[in-house]
Structure 1
Amino acid sequence: MSRLVIVSNRVQIPSEKSPRAGGLAVALGSGLKPGTLWFGWSGKRGTGGRTPSIHEAQGVTYATVDLTDKEYNEFYVGFSNGALWPLLHYRLDFLDFLRHEYDGYRGVNAYFAGALLPLLNDDDLVWVHDYQLIPAGLEMRQLGARHRIGFFLHIPFVPPEILDALPCGVPLLKSLCAYDVVGFHTEDHRHAFLACVSAFLDVSPDEDGSFVYDGRRVRTLSDPIGIDAEEFAAIAARSARGAEVKRIRESLFSRALAIGADRLDYSKGLPNRFRAFDQLLERFPEHRGNISMLQVAARSREDVDRYQQLRRTLDRLVGDINGRYSEFDWVPIRYMTRALSRKSLAGFYRVARVGVVTPLRDGMNLVAKEYVAAQSSADPGVLILSRFAGAADQLREALIVNPFDADEVAEAINQALTMELPERKERWQALRETVWAGTPTLFTDTFLDMLRA
């Protein structure tokens, strides 16, 4: 059996104690098997040696490399998160392209390829993940790699008219064609990629979504990522009996709880969500004093100006809403910007009457699936889900909303709060079947079966 080699921008080895805020780290961490090699950035910046550091834990080998300050600023802060991230989330107004940052991005991908190649066995399967490493496969090919190499994009892909705005869009598209398999979470994202291939590379994909470019047959698939629902449900049930959940229950004084948990990122639609909660209190005054919203927004990418601006915007919104509606014994929005452990979040999900997952664009969004898994079968809460999250393709029994319409989201929260128990149970049971069926192992096996073919 060939060894699996995972390549991602960031590798968090088990000895790191900080909570994993990203869905990729959680999902891949659940699906790792002994014998796997995981390669990527250590999270450290320095000017030391360029040889990978090797760590062994539970049968998995972790190989990490450092970045210099210049590489970090150009590759990560600059091109990855200043150009690619906004582009692939349809935010052309946030697109900041600088050619030297793109050169730095290509340079780091070449550095990763050069550091990884000596660690590979001849029959390894290489699986590269996400937008930071689009050119990594091409760089490996140019160094002589003849391995089966696959790529998975965990965020949306865009149609030709959006990709066309990026000056280096076509070279990046060509880089994706160096992989044997390119995967996405939804059919919409896969179709957008194939439309770009057709528009910019003058290639006509076959009916199965495969095509030949520069002598290589590239196959595509949609492969929705999942969670270990059984494990998460058990964590939630245990946490619900713990001290933290007891504290939050006591602080609510029998009020309903709505919960959102996201990275602090403009793609998550947090200002829109707070405005929708404002509309709920304005239009449905019967909920004033009877519901609190807990929003966990773990800080991320704090070196990027857009994220600093977003945090200031959210601070102002929360202050304004709480200032207008608070009573001496009730605050509408509880807002925190530090990450919580999965254990804590699982317990909070379980006691929350409403889960609010309303990104403006998202590749999948595993919070939606975790919220479903955490619920009690006897008294489940209601999931409100953005139509622009990849998870909406699967979780159709949630209350599906357009996050740009504050009134629609407010109406959905009101519907969730007034929904009778039989309907809540019926919706949750259907969601449960979907969430339990889509495991990290299924996600991994589906992709690797195609890569091995």
Structure 2
Amino acid sequence: MAETAQQPLVLVSNRGPVTFDTDGSISRGTGGLVTALTGLASHRRATWIASAMGRGDADRARAAGGRAFSVDSPSGGSYDVRLVVSDEVAYERFYSIFANPMLWFIQHYLWDQSNAPDIRSHEVEAYEYGYKLVNQDLADAVVEEIDGASEPVVMVHDYHLYLVPQMVRERRPDAFLHHFVHIPWSQSDSWRVLPTKIRDELYRGILANDIVGFHTRSYRRNFLQCCEDLLELEVDHDQGVVRIDDREVWVRAYPLPIDAKATRAVSRRARVREFEDELLRRRRDFLILRVDRADLSKNVLRGFSAFDLFLEQHPEFRERVTFMAQLMPSRTDVPEYREYLERIEALVAVVNHRHGTPDWMPIQLKLRDDVEEAMAAYRHYDVHIVNAMFDGMNLVAKEGPIVNERDGVSILSENTGAHEELGEFALTVNPFDVQALANAIHRALTMSVEEREHRAEGLRGIITLRDPGDWIDEQLADVRRKAAGAAAVDLG
């Protein structure tokens, strides 16, 4: 397949690059997936198909007659966007019952299997009459968008849309289908909580692709092993190939980089300076930082428990260090997430009461999403904690080190995707070992200037080695190779 200007590229995701308010105003879509795909859409002209996320999106979709329309993003760039309106009840079942929490919890190992999940008609109906229906709505839009096109390329994204590829392939077997999964792929036994019929349909949905991509080699290995264990398919682990229905599916790792230049540009904005002035005015000797969504997988509670333990074991640091945590509330419509946020606030109150003084609050908790405020903290941390239980990549682990001006030390969970690239120069922790994290905090705060410099330089070197354009080019190069009939190669 020779790439031409006429060859259409279609991106498909649950969330689009922009959202519309009911008054017609536009805001940038949120999340790491949108950040990644915005770079792809800027790199090459594409039509981006996504779900309408609210009444404003639905109104804009209807105004466009259900077709694609051009939109200028508030953060820059122009995109052709097609917003798909699904039945409200179906979408609620799709998103709040099946995709989140069911699939998200499986892929992040979050289920306490002695207690949950209890799969009953409620969950099965959410799959049949929610997840399937929304996937079908988006697949229909894809098929309509590529109607009459020669050799279209369709790039599907993430766990919300595992059924879309098969739905498209059944009607357009000539389309080249690529699927990138932005979250971890868990090991075989974690998937056995799903009824066999549902599990098989999900796997056969994603295996309808020509290429399946993940952030890390570890997730790639897990997926290949799942295909072998759960579907008894023929798998070539060396070449990263699954054979199904007389087809070969390539399974690849494409670690997502950040745009270092753009990130640094944000950190130099005037509003960032205002936050810096306030931060420096209140700063103690040391600053520990975490920037996260208040998601169960981010392991926030253990992070605060480790800091509590550190202060107990090293009282010489009391009143000398502040732990600043900027957390964005996440999925507050899901009961487990509301409860988790309440537990976070309660633990912070306990730690501050136990160790605080009239003029020193050990943990400074900010429940908001403000990128410029985060950038100010990035510039001045001494220790940056990313202790997620499991994480697809974690771009925060890459943003902090390239903005930081103090050779701050990164403490990084071995279960984040970023660890596969950055582990050599970070302090690695087991995210479940609270004592190990407390020890890592002490080591980071007492580390020599020379070691801090060495580690910080190493992190910056790795993070700036690739940019989002490289990530996109790597995937498109594999698309061209496989479509041209090239054989899979040994991945080493």
TM-score with structure 1 setting the length = 0.94
Counterparts of 1:37 and 1:261, CA distance in 2? 32
1:130 aligns with 158
1:380 aligns with 407
1:350 aligns with 379
1:362 to 2:367 alignment: no
1:158 to 2:186 alignment: yes
1:165-207 deviation line (CA, Å, top 9, x unaligned) = 2112222111111000001111111111111111222222223
1:118 aligns with 144
1:84 to 2:110 alignment: no
1:22 to 2:2 alignment: no
- Work out which of the residue numbers 434, 444, 450 in structure 2 matches 1:422: 450
Which residue identity is paired with 2:71? E
Q: CA deviation at 1:255?
A: 3.0
1:212 to 2:270 alignment: no
Counterparts of 2:47 and 2:355, CA distance in 1? 52
Q: CA deviation at 1:60?
A: 2.0
Question: More deviation in 283-292 or 236-245?
Answer: 236-245
Counterparts of 1:17 and 1:426, CA distance in 2? 43
Q: CA deviation at 1:215?
A: 2.5
SS in 2 for 1:158: coil
2:416 aligns with 389
1:30-79 deviation line (CA, Å, top 9, x unaligned) = 34325221110131159875824623334421111233330222000010
Aligned length: 449
- Work out which of the residue numbers 135, 146, 155 in structure 2 matches 1:109: 135
- Work out which of the residue numbers 78, 88, 92 in structure 2 matches 1:69: 88
The 8 Å contact of residues 45 and 68 in structure 1, kept in 2 or not, is answered as no
2:488 aligns with none
Counterparts of 1:29 and 1:409, CA distance in 2? 35
TM-score with structure 2 setting the length = 0.87
- Work out which of the residue numbers 34, 38, 47 in structure 2 matches 1:37: 47
SS in 2 for 1:292: strand
The 8 Å contact of residues 49 and 83 in structure 2, kept in 1 or not, is answered as yes
Counterparts of 2:409 and 2:279, CA distance in 1? 19
1:289 to 2:308 alignment: no
Q: CA deviation at 1:369?
A: 0.3
1:441 to 2:458 alignment: no
Which residue identity is paired with 2:184? P
1:244 aligns with 275
SS in 2 for 1:242: helix
Where do 4+ consecutive residues of structure 1 move more than 3 Å?
A: 14-21, 45-50, 94-97, 237-241
Q: Percent identity, please.
A: 32
Q: CA deviation at 1:123?
A: 3.0
The 8 Å contact of residues 184 and 190 in structure 1, kept in 2 or not, is answered as yes
1:294-353 deviation line (CA, Å, top 9, x unaligned) = 111111211101101101111110111111111111111111221112x33222101111
Counterparts of 1:442 and 1:83, CA distance in 2? 33
Counterparts of 1:363 and 1:326, CA distance in 2? 35
Counterparts of 1:385 and 1:227, CA distance in 2? 17
Give matches, 1:178-257, under 5 Å.
Answer: 178-206=208-236, 207-238=238-269, 242-252=273-283, 254-257=284-287
SS in 2 for 1:43: coil
Counterparts of 2:168 and 2:180, CA distance in 1? 16
- Work out which of the residue numbers 456, 459, 462 in structure 2 matches 1:431: 459
SS in 2 for 1:182: strand
Which residue identity is paired with 1:13? V
Counterparts of 1:14 and 1:154, CA distance in 2? 21
Counterparts of 1:105 and 1:142, CA distance in 2? 18
Which residue identity is paired with 1:142? E
Question: More deviation in 39-48 or 258-267?
Answer: 39-48
The 8 Å contact of residues 41 and 65 in structure 1, kept in 2 or not, is answered as yes
The 8 Å contact of residues 227 and 439 in structure 1, kept in 2 or not, is answered as yes
- Work out which of the residue numbers 5, 9, 21 in structure 1 matches 2:10: 5
- The alignment's C-alpha RMSD in Å is 2.0
1:51 to 2:66 alignment: yes
Question: More deviation in 15-24 or 432-441?
Answer: 15-24
1:299 to 2:299 alignment: no
Counterparts of 1:179 and 1:110, CA distance in 2? 16
